[in-house]
Amino acid sequence: MKKVIYAGIAILILSYGCTKDFDKLSQNPNAIKQGSAATLLSQTIYNGLISRIRAARAVGNELMGYTVYKNERAYTQRFDIRNTLGNDLWNRHYTTLTNLEDMYNRGMAEGNANYQAVALTLKAWLVSELTDTFRDIPYFEASKGDSLNFLPAYNTQEEIYKDLLENLDKAALMFDNSKTMSAEGDILYGSKGSNALQVTAWRKFCNSLRLRLYLRVSNAPEFDGPAKINEIVSNSSVFPIFTTAADQAYIPFTNQEPLYNPYYNATSGDFGVLYAPSTTILQMMQDTADPRLSQYYTRAVSTWTGIKSGFPSGVLGQVTEGGTSYVNYNLHDSPRFGVIMNYDEVQFILAEAALKG
Amino acid sequence: MYKKFTAFGCSCFSYASLKILLKVKLITIILLSAFLQVQASGYAQTVSLSVNKVNLKEVFRQLRKQTGYGFLYREADLKDTRPVSLELRNAPLDEVLERCLANQPLTYHIEKNFVMIRRKPDLGSAVTVPGIIIQGKVTDEKGEPLAGVSIRVKNIRQSTVSNTKGEYKINVPNEDAVLVFSYIGFEVQERKVLKSTVINVSLKEKNTGLNEVVVTALNISREQRSLGYSAQVIDSVALNVAPTDNWLNALEGKVAGLTLNRADGPMGSSDIILRGDKSLQLGNSGALVVIDGVPVSNKITASGAGAYVSDNAPIDMGTGIGDVNPEDIASVSVLKGAAATALYGSRGANGAIVIVTKSGSSQKGLGISFSSSTAIENVNRLPDYQYEYGAGANSGIDYYSYGTSDSGANTSNANASWGPKLNTGVKYYQYDPATQGQGAEPTDWIAYPDNRKNFFRTGFKTSNTISIEGGSKTTKARFSVANQQNTYILENVGYQRTSVNLSLDQQINKDMKIATKVNYYNKSSDNLPTTGYSNKSASYFLLWTTPNVDTEWYRDYWKITNGIRQVDIEQNRPFNKNPDNPYFALYEILNPMKRNGLFGNINFSYKISPFLNFTAKTAIDMYDDVLSNRFPKSSDSYSQGFYREQNVIRYERNSDFLLSYNRPFNRDVKFGLSVGGNSMSSSYNRTRAYVNRLLIPGQYTLANRVDRPVIDAYKENKAINSLYAFTNLSYKEYIFLELTARNDWSSVFASNNNSYFYPSANLSLVLSDMFKVNSSVLSFAKLRLSYAEVGSDTNPYRIEKFYSASNFSSSITNPTSLPNYELKPERTKSYETGLEARFLRNRIGLDLTCYLADTYDQILSVPVEPASGYYYYYMNAGTVRNNGVEVQLWGKLLESKKGLSWKINFNGAINRGKILELKEEIESLGLYAMGSTGVSLQAVKGGSIGDIYGLAYQRNENGDIVYANGVPQLTTEIQKVGNAVPKFKGGIGQEFRYKSWTMNILFDGEFGHQKYSLSNSMLMARGNSKATLPGREEGGILGKGVVQNDDGTWRPNDIVVSPSVYYAAHYDRTNAEANVFDASYIKFREFRIDKSFSSKSLQKVGFKKASIGLYGRDLFVWTKWPGFDPQNGTLNDGTIVQGIEIGQLPSTRNMGVNIRFSL
């Protein structure tokens, strides 16, 4: 009897030291170890879009006077740019870029050039927004957290634009109709109907984006912007661009899971009431009898009342006395914010390019 | 046969009942007195004895040395015994004792680790002596019968013992005889017979508190004197002084160095922090809770996420540990330091609360007891609201109008009270609840004082427990059923809990024992309150309402449109459209929950040889939660309605064994070695599904939807295997040394880092025995020293990168936290020294502890530069040093012969938590941030745990506040504005007794810390606090500060602004400096007055004992805090955040009555 117990104890002790099931236990059952390039697309596009909308609302609208935040600490409308103001765009765009880094590498491993090209295109979209906002930013060393580089070096805007454009030039020629793209993993162009149409749509987006970036650097001779624009426009078979509104990079929010307007659940107070239009924009829209006026804003009591953009600290009570017009709450679930690049912009680019010669 | 007879036969009933009492008495108190001698140590079961004509006293001494059993006897009983001559080798103790006591007038009995020696009851011979027969009953002070009390006639060899009912019968020679009543743990009483034949006696308990037994790590009972580290025991009486929703809260104010971080609401979940937060991750510093050797989850089941303006606001659904019925708890040991818990491994690094539940006793017959508490609950403190001015968006508004009226445009949407003065006789068009619109006529503009207070009702709680216990010589059993009902101070909020508890203990043969304890509970609630600052929480509503509004007006919460009440479609929000109608929120936005839980263990122990013991145990803790949240259409967060279901199944299994070898080397040196192992595996499974738009209003199922329900599932599996060993050495019962070693293997680390070892050592020196102090001043002195290391693991899935699923089809995405394959265990090293001393014949006691604990290599999710592609990286970084002093002082100030006694005890603790190190590249670590307001808890190198950061007033070089346009300017960067950890905390408890009356009073407090108050910001910035009255009559305020001139010099601020501008600018929520307050408080924590009954009439009805008590909890709070309660934390994402108050619920005062009786 005793021997049995001793033996039992010995076995118990031995088995205790054992850690052989641990490998299995340490695997995360809630996530996915590795996915194809195609799987990294939809969420990436949506993330980029949302960051852009949020930045527009928090920064762009205030600086442009589309809105004036009705708060004592409304720094931005006063052009008092606080350190944290750009965090949202910076943080979101950079973490989104990780997916594109992976997509490019997976695309290469899978031998699917389309995803390499898509990754380069989307990267150019996001990085150009970052460098346009912040000028010099980490670029070549960015998104290298996986290799433990947590302090990426900064690069100049010139270097960045140069690389982005080179990549876009390369991407524009990489698209290949014979390589399959996943239709259901593509919220932007997955519904085009056929693989060829889907790839072509991406190709159009890529070239349209090239137009945007080349126009932006058209005054810097080293980029050869005008010639490049000319090359794109005159080779529409090799470099197709948006030619109808159906081509544009636009995702209407269905407000069905997961494709929500980011303000879908925002309250009327948080979304609209605290944001008044500036007197300038109100005046402009009233002068031109702009039909968008009542789409964008809600009347105060009976009149259109704005706030002068740039009101100083301490006068909030005075400027808001009697109430102001404010941002139309209907916009919080509007499907129309999902614009990456629309057809109108391409038309404007072409017009501007033509104007500049 | 005769031997058996003496041991268990004629006196069996008295011994059986003695056992119960011994269980009670011995565990807590062992008496050292002139009458009885006690010596105790480790235990061995066989003995070798070689004596020749040696007196019994010496024999007992030898047996004690060999076996470790303590011997209890009265010197006088040994007087006329015969010397013993014996020669025995490796004989069982029973046999040796029987041989020694053969033909002696003595008998023995073994209880726990003690051998009780007493006179053989002389009932038979009593008859032969002529004289008077005296009978009566012996009870304790509470009237509880005492069994086994020795009653003897002075100067005559005539004695007896009382039976289970405390009754006795004895023959005395004449009326001059004196009866002497004596009993372990009680004072001896003498009574002259005189003419009475019935003598009832009430014995008084001795004031002792000497050799307390403490249940330490791995559920090993140790004598307090042998411990080289601090351990404090709270008995079940202290826990039940003033019953609370979560029994853990009854520890408040009673344990030095214990802090409870409590969440709002009826469940009262709390994190138990011993000796300060050690971790730089919130919610990671809680102590381990162990019930009967089973670690039980103190994880808060919280639905929801952020406390600050979140759609998914947090709801406290309670913890597993909170569901234990306090009536089932026998004792609680608080093991504060790492030394105490080195044997619990990883999870004991933050200290442990070790709970032993009640077991059955081997008394014959049934023991049935019943306890019932009924209490009312109301708000114990309100902010200082102003009721002089009504609603108005700013100070410029000098009229009120509900909707447009003759008075002017609508002003009723104002969320602030800067409007016209109330109660002046003026009339305005106001809201008419009957029509849900503008009143037909202007009505008096009056205040509704107490409109916030009246929003709360009186809560009501009942708790009933019935327990049955009984047993035989080999079986002990206890069974209890309890039910608790709670109706909270918010309407339509409350819960019920039913629990069933079973304890069975079976001696299979003389070496083997099996035991089991099982606890099943069922808890359910139809609605629990939303906490935090969000549109649907009650606290939000209270911060948005104004003094001219009666909260009753909100009762009709469905909107009437064209005469039709829009039930399930549209709520009625008569005033500002931000808060949900509060009654709509309470009656329609519901958070019901149901939980079925079970924890328990099966225990096997086997005495392999007299020196070798083996125990094995398997324990399980599991529960199944079903939670849901529903939002009707038109609710602020989900305008199209919302429904969510969440199911959680959690289980944890622990299997362990322990092999212990104990053998004395010689009479002075004792040695014990134990080796054990544990295998833990846990799993957590959560499935959640929600629909964001309801198809048909008012129906809450996942089927009632516009879109497909969104489902997310989360699983977590983890295993830890451990081996450990510990050894105990003692010398002459005054030096005790314990060494422990443990190795853990945790599944959360990579294979090269998953094994970690840690040792500990502790030493106890009983100085008073070492130096043979024999003084009437110093009764006892002991020095403790300990050193311990502990390693801890972390949550699983932090070593390897996995992509997260996205809600888009065919889509995944990178995580934002980067795992780290090189993660290694977090470590704590702690040093502790302490002194225990008792003075004036144990009437005054002192326990002083100093400690220092470094927690380093902390596993943190460290923020990294997002340009790297990640927000966080898991790494070992940061060292936190906690050091502090703990004091306990107790004294028996008064002890009169008439039965009046007064005991007082004090405990206090000082803890400082410093952040010694963070990783080089990290400037600061944000522990919690309140949205983007800058108000946050930050860990900075060189800073302290609990540092509150935020924007502050901008000041010039003289420290004057800088103004512009009449309002103060704020800094552009956040800075430290306070610290949330009390500099000192302590409690003073007092107990008064007079005959059958007992009164307990407990005060406690925390001092010298600060807290940010969002409630204050809201009340001030919106003119709802009394503090916003100055300046209103004048219509303007000139802020005290300076303005910069063009040449850079300063001039005093010269711009007067209106009160609404002034207060709104000063107390804006981003101004952390203005909204940080001293959160020091003193609370009248507990009060109880008890009367116990022992009258005969009671016994005729069949009661053994009965008592009734009145109690109160959290009766008063003294504090400068501007909100409801300076103490409660903020529940956020499943953890409790201290230092930042975000719309809290009131703390409550409880008053109740408790009845107990047993049959």
Q: Tell me: the pLDDT tens digits for B1138-1154?
A: 999 999 999 899 999 99
Model confidence band, residue B226 (pLDDT cutoffs 50, 70, 90): confident
Residue B11 scores a pLDDT above 70: no
Q: Tell me: the pLDDT tens digits for B570-593?
A: 999 999 888 999 999 999 999 999
Element (H, E) at B1091: strand B1081-1093
**Smallest Cβ distance to B1070: which of A32, A73, A265?**
A73
d(CA A40, CA B1075): 45
Whole-number pLDDT of residue B598: 93
Least confident piece of the model among A29-33, B478-482, B585-589 = A29-33
Contact between chains at B868 and A143 (C-beta distance less than 8 A): yes
The dihedral built from the CA positions of residue A336, A337, A339 and A344, taken in this order, carries a sign that is positive
Q: Please give the interface size between A and B, counted as residue pairs whose CB atoms are below 8 Å apart.
A: 228
Tell me if B151 sits within 8 A of B136, measured CB to CB.
no
Strands (E), B382-538: 427-428, 431-432, 437-438, 443-444, 459-471, 475-487, 494-507, 512-527
Whole-Å CA distances, B129 to B158, B173, B619: 9, 7, 58
Element (H, E) at B1098: helix B1096-1100
d(CA B214, CA B191): 37
Element (H, E) at B96: helix B93-101
Whole-Å CA distances, A6 to B524, B612, B638, B726, B823: 47, 12, 64, 19, 37
Tell me if B342 sits within 8 A of B217, measured CB to CB.
yes
The residue-averaged pLDDT of B381-401 equals: 92
The residue-averaged pLDDT of A259-280 equals: 86
* B87 vs B210, residue with greater confidence: B87
Q: Tell me: the pLDDT tens digits for B25-42?
A: 433 333 333 333 333 333
d(CA B308, CA B558): 27
Give the gap in angstroms from C-alpha B1084 to the nearest C-alpha of chain A: 41
Q: Which CATH architecture has domain B213-359?
A: Beta Complex (2.170)
Whole-number pLDDT of residue B805: 87
Contact between chains at B809 and A34 (C-beta distance less than 8 A): no
Contact between chains at B866 and A257 (C-beta distance less than 8 A): no
Residue B873 scores a pLDDT above 60: yes
Q: Assess B80–A contact: CB distance below 8 Å, yes or no.
A: no
Where are chain B's structural domains? 31-120, 121-210, 213-359
- Pick the closest to residue B378 from B1083, B1088, B1145 (CA basis): B1145
Q: Tell me: the pLDDT tens digits for B310-364?
A: 888 899 988 888 888 888 998 899 998 877 777 787 778 889 999 999 888 766 5
Contact between chains at A317 and B865 (C-beta distance less than 8 A): no
Q: Tell me: the pLDDT tens digits for A317-340?
A: 778 877 889 999 899 889 998 999
Q: How many CB atoms lie within 10 A of CB A16?
A: 20
- DSSP state letter for A271: I
Q: Tell me: the pLDDT tens digits for B626-658?
A: 999 999 999 988 888 999 999 999 999 999 999
Beta strand B963-964 with B967-968: parallel, antiparallel or unpaired?
antiparallel
Give the gap in angstroms from C-alpha B966 to the nearest C-alpha of chain A: 6
Whole-number pLDDT of residue B41: 36
Contact between chains at A30 and B797 (C-beta distance less than 8 A): yes
Contact between chains at B813 and A44 (C-beta distance less than 8 A): yes
Contact between chains at B814 and A95 (C-beta distance less than 8 A): yes
The residue-averaged pLDDT of A218-235 equals: 92
- DSSP state letter for A57: I
Is the ipTM here above 0.90? yes
Neighbouring residues of A116: CB distance < 8 A, sequence distance ≥ 6: A104, A107, A108, A171, A174
Q: Which CATH architecture has domain B121-210?
A: Sandwich (2.60)
Tokens of A137: 């930013």
Q: CA triplet A165, A166, A167: central angle to 5 degrees? A: 90
* Phi, psi angle pair for B659, to nearest 5°: -115, 120
Interface of B with A in 280-309 (CB under 8 A): 309
**Smallest Cβ distance to A91: which of B800, B810, B866?**
B866
Whole-Å CA distances, A199 to A35, A99, A179, A239, B1093: 21, 20, 9, 13, 90
Contact between chains at B809 and A185 (C-beta distance less than 8 A): yes
Whole-number pLDDT of residue B529: 94
Question: Whole-number mean pLDDT of chain B?
Answer: 87
pTM of the full structure: 0.83
Beta strand B352-357 with B431-432: parallel, antiparallel or unpaired?
unpaired
Residue B442 scores a pLDDT above 80: yes
Q: Tell me: the pLDDT tens digits for B47-63?
A: 777 888 888 888 888 88
Q: How many CB atoms lie within 10 A of CB B944?
A: 17
CATH C-level class of A86-251+338-356: mainly alpha
Whole-number pLDDT of residue B603: 93
- B171-183 as b/e: b if 16+ CB within 10 A: bbeeeebebebbb
Least confident piece of the model among B15-29, B690-704, B1077-1091 = B15-29
**Smallest Cβ distance to A257: which of B606, B710, B721?**
B710
HSE, side-chain direction, 13 A CA sphere, residue B216? 24
Contact between chains at A145 and B869 (C-beta distance less than 8 A): yes
Whole-number pLDDT of residue B363: 62
**Smallest Cβ distance to A95: which of B751, B816, B964?**
B816
The residue-averaged pLDDT of A5-13 equals: 57
Whole-number pLDDT of residue A9: 59
* Phi, psi angle pair for B1108, to nearest 5°: -130, 140
Where are chain A's structural domains? 86-251+338-356, 268-333
The answer to whether the bond into B819 is cis (omega within 30° of 0) is no
- What would the 3-class secondary structure string for B206-251 be? CCCCCCCEEEEHHHEEEEHHHCCCCEEEEEHHHHCCCCCCCHHHHH
Element (H, E) at A24: helix A22-25
The dihedral built from the CA positions of residue B790, B796, B801 and B807, taken in this order, carries a sign that is negative
Question: Selecting from 3.20.20.70, 3.55.50.30, 3.40.640.10, 2.160.20.10, what CATH number does the domain B31-120 have?
Answer: 3.55.50.30
Model confidence band, residue B474 (pLDDT cutoffs 50, 70, 90): confident
* End-to-end Cα, chain B, rounded Å: 35
The residue-averaged pLDDT of B913-940 equals: 90
d(CA B344, CA B218): 7
Q: Tell me: the pLDDT tens digits for B674-693?
A: 999 999 999 999 999 999 88
**Smallest Cβ distance to B715: which of A29, A43, A259?**
A29
- A292-328 as b/e: b if 16+ CB within 10 A: ebeebbbebeeebbbbebebebbbbbebbeebbbbbb
Residue A357 scores a pLDDT above 70: yes
Least confident piece of the model among B601-615, B1071-1085, B1094-1108 = B1094-1108
The residue-averaged pLDDT of B391-410 equals: 89
Least confident piece of the model among A300-304, B887-891, B926-930, B1089-1093 = A300-304
d(CA A283, CA B36): 100
At residue B532, the 3 state secondary structure works out as: coil
Question: Whole-number mean pLDDT of chain A?
Answer: 90
Whole-number pLDDT of residue B130: 57
Contact between chains at A84 and B608 (C-beta distance less than 8 A): no
Give the gap in angstroms from C-alpha B675 to the nearest C-alpha of chain A: 10
Tokens of B964: 């512009």
- Pick the closest to residue B1148 from B237, B485, B244, B240 (CA basis): B244
Give the gap in angstroms from C-alpha B658 to the nearest C-alpha of chain A: 10
- AA identity, residue B933: T
Q: Could you tell me what percent of chain B has a pLDDT over 70?
A: 94
Q: Tell me: the pLDDT tens digits for B953-990?
A: 999 999 999 999 899 999 989 999 999 999 999 999 99
Model confidence band, residue B12 (pLDDT cutoffs 50, 70, 90): very low
Strands (E), A65-170: 68-69, 137-138, 154-155
HSE, side-chain direction, 13 A CA sphere, residue B178? 8
Whole-number pLDDT of residue B59: 83
Neighbouring residues of B776: CB distance < 8 A, sequence distance ≥ 6: B840, B841
Residue B157 scores a pLDDT above 60: yes
d(CA B5, CA B454): 71
The residue-averaged pLDDT of A37-61 equals: 94
Tokens of B242: 């003033």
Tell me if B161 sits within 8 A of B184, measured CB to CB.
no
Contact between chains at B810 and A13 (C-beta distance less than 8 A): no
Q: How many CB atoms lie within 10 A of CB B609?
A: 15
Whole-Å CA distances, B949 to B308, B991, B1006, B1009, B1011: 16, 43, 21, 14, 11
Least confident piece of the model among A189-193, A269-273, B117-121, B411-415 = B117-121
